[in-house]
């Protein structure tokens, strides 16, 4: 099921894993132990295809992790430190989203069964944010098992659970193992919980012990002895599995691009429907910008008419930046982006899903903003001829903004960095939209603003293409 050969992972000068060899046969239950910083989580993330190895080979279910990662993702479930759930969605909505992402044909029935199994049926329509830690962990397990994975990776699954919940989790793992699921779980404490059939110990990024667990009671002592040794033992060579290798048929392809995009958009809109935090913040901020400009510059008559397009697009740009930032921060909060990356979704679908959600929010903002600007500046902004300009301008802004928001959300100064990154890049877009809007308001024909219109179209095409090609590099570890 798992074949790891000479696997290494470095983060700059720091070496997290060195020459790791590991073979896990189908149906095995392996515990990966080691102190903090030994490389357990790094190894698990590599196995989960969330991270790329620096060198070495990694095959899961006979599939190459570099070239067949989506097929691998369909076969594995991953329980991370974080729940990978969306706080702003209900349990049922979270599972429905992942069911679509994994292309589960029996989604509703499977969700109902899992909610029942994990005793969450009565709370299925409550927001996850209102759940206790134990309930969130149960729901996270339901998410990991939703697509019936053949391999389950669990990173410190007992952390934060009370004794009763620990027992329930152990019971579930025993049942899954009995059902043929391969289990690989990490732990740094070896007390009382299930340890499986085999233990692998990692120390300073190297495998220092790999043997069947014959005497579980003696294992904690052996573990401490191995860790207390001053010198790190030599790397263990690659050993072929004793058990027959897993023969995994390639799973059916996950949902196609349009369905995947729709799943992400529907999830974002549902989260926004529950909280209304992004839209309301954008609308109020944009309205304030219009009011402040109108008041401070004392815009009236012809001056107001001339300034209206510029002020309006400034308000849209500023409020848009606010919304883009929040939209991607929502993904980061509880590891939603990690959940998206775990699903067998094309990275292009991820980009289009996020960008389309942002585009819809910005268009909704304009539906509120245009009547207000019409009243404030006394200009006929509510006319059909302006719609293509507003759409093209917003599309370009959402296209490049989504990419940069995905970058900014991983930085320290995330709240302030996005406008610094984004605004210089949208210079041609803002000039073109302001000039085209102004031209149409002045009664110019389409032919007379053709240059601006063409520039907008070219900008949109270039930005969508570049963002589509580079989004994967931004979101992956």
Partner 1 sequence: MKREWNTKVDLLLAGLSVIVFLGALGMVFFYAPREATLGEVQRIFYFHVASAWVGFFGFFVTFLGGALYLMQGQRRWDILALASAEIGLTFITMTLLTGMLWAKPAWGVYWTWEPRLTISAVQWLLYLAYVMLRSSVSAAGSGPEREARFAAVYGIVAFTTVPLSWFAIRWWRTIHPQVFSASGMAITPKMLTTLLISLAAFTVLYGTLLRARMQLEHERDHLAALRCERDEED
Q: Which residues bind partner 1 (CB under 8 A)?
A: 11-15, 204, 400, 403-404, 407, 410-414, 417, 420-421, 423-425, 427-428, 431-432, 435, 451-452, 455, 458-459, 462-463, 466-467, 470, 473-474, 477
CB of 403 to partner 1, least distance (A): 7
Task: Give me 40's structure tokens.
Answer: 């357990």
Q: Which is nearer to partner 1, 38 or 261 (CB)?
A: 38
Give the C-alpha separation, 376 to 295, whole Å: 10
Give the C-alpha separation, 455 to 448, whole Å: 13
Nearest CA to 275 among 404, 124, 90? 90
Q: Which is nearer to partner 1, 376 or 436 (CB)?
A: 436
Give the C-alpha separation, 149 to 169, whole Å: 17
Residues in Cβ contact with 224 at an 8 Å cutoff, skipping those fewer than 6 apart: none
CB of 395 to partner 1, least distance (A): 15
Q: Which is nearer to partner 1, 3 or 460 (CB)?
A: 460
Nearest CA to 213 among 6, 32, 34? 32
CB of 221 to partner 1, least distance (A): 26
CB of 10 to partner 1, least distance (A): 9
The answer to whether 254 and 342 are in contact (CB under 8 A) is no
The answer to whether 28 and 74 are in contact (CB under 8 A) is no
Nearest CA to 88 among 353, 404, 438, 327? 327
CB of 326 to partner 1, least distance (A): 18
Q: Is 462 exposed, middle or buried (0-12, 13-18, 19+ CB in 10 A)?
A: middle
Q: What are phi and psi of 28, to 5 degrees?
A: -80, 160
Q: Which is nearer to partner 1, 220 or 388 (CB)?
A: 388
Residues in Cβ contact with 413 at an 8 Å cutoff, skipping those fewer than 6 apart: none
> Sign of dihedral through CA atoms 35, 41, 46, 51?
negative
Q: Which is nearer to partner 1, 173 or 475 (CB)?
A: 475
CB of 42 to partner 1, least distance (A): 11
CB of 8 to partner 1, least distance (A): 14
Q: Which is nearer to partner 1, 398 or 417 (CB)?
A: 417
Give the C-alpha separation, 68 to 63, whole Å: 6
Q: Which is nearer to partner 1, 17 or 184 (CB)?
A: 17
Q: What single DSSP character describes residue 196?
A: -
CB of 414 to partner 1, least distance (A): 8
Classify 164 as helix, strand or coil.
helix
Classify 343 as helix, strand or coil.
coil
Give the C-alpha separation, 351 to 261, whole Å: 8
Q: Which is nearer to partner 1, 162 or 442 (CB)?
A: 442
Q: Which is nearer to partner 1, 39 or 107 (CB)?
A: 39
The answer to whether 96 and 266 are in contact (CB under 8 A) is no
The answer to whether 278 and 331 are in contact (CB under 8 A) is no
CB of 230 to partner 1, least distance (A): 11
CB of 331 to partner 1, least distance (A): 15
Q: Which is nearer to partner 1, 54 or 170 (CB)?
A: 54
């Amino acid at each position: 099921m798992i074949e790891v050969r000479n696997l290494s992972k470095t983060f700059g000068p720091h070496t997290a894993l060195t020459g790791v060899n590991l073979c896990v046969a189908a149906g095995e239950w392996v515990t990966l132990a080691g102190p903090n910083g030994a490389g357990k989580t790094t190894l698990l993330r590599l196995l989960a295809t969330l991270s790329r190895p620096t060198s070495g080979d990694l095959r899961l279910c006979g599939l190459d992790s570099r070239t067949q990662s989506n097929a691998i993702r369909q076969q594995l479930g991953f329980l991370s430190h974080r729940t990978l759930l969306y706080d702003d969605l209900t349990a049922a909505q979270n599972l429905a989203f992942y069911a679509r992402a994994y292309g589960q044909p029996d989604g509703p029935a499977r969700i109902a069964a899992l909610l029942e199994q994990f005793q969450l049926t009565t709370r299925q329509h409550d927001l996850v944010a209102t759940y206790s830690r134990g309930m969130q962990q149960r729901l996270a397990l339901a998410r990991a098992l939703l697509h019936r994975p053949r391999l389950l990776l669990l990173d410190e699954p007992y952390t934060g659970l009370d004794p009763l919940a620990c027992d329930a989790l152990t019971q579930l793992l025993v049942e899954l193992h009995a059902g043929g699921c391969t289990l690989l779980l990490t732990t740094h404490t070896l007390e009382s919980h299930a340890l499986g059939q085999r233990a692998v110990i990692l120390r300073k990024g190297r495998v220092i012990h790999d043997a069947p667990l014959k005497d579980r009671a003696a294992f904690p002592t052996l573990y401490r002895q191995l860790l207390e040794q001053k010198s790190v033992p030599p790397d263990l060579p690659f050993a072929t599995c004793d058990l027959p290798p897993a023969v995994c048929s390639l799973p059916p392809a996950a949902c196609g691009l349009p369905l995947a995009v729709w799943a992400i958009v529907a999830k974002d809109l549902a989260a926004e429907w529950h909280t209304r935090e992004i839209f309301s913040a954008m609308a109020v901020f944009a309205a304030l910008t219009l009011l402040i400009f109108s008041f401070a510059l004392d815009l009236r008559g012809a001056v107001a008419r001339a300034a209206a397009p510029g002020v309006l697009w400034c308000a849209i740009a500023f409020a848009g930046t606010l919304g883009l930032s929040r939209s991607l921060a929502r993904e980061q909060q509880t590891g939603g982006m990690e959940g998206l990356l775990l699903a067998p979704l094309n990275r292009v679908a991820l980009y289009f899903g996020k960008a389309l959600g942002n585009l819809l929010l910005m268009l909704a903002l304009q539906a509120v903003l245009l009547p207000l600007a019409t009243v404030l500046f006394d200009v006929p902004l509510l006319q059909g001829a302006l719609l293509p300009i507003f759409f093209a301008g917003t599309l370009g802004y959402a296209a490049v903004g989504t990419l940069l928001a995905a970058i900014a959300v991983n930085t320290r100064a995330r709240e302030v960095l996005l406008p610094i990154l984004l605004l210089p890049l949208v210079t041609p877009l803002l000039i073109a939209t302001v000039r085209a809007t102004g031209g149409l308001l002045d009664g110019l024909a389409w032919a007379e603003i053709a240059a601006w219109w063409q520039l907008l179209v070219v900008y949109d095409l270039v930005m969508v293409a570049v963002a589509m090609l580079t989004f994967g590099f931004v979101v992956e570890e």
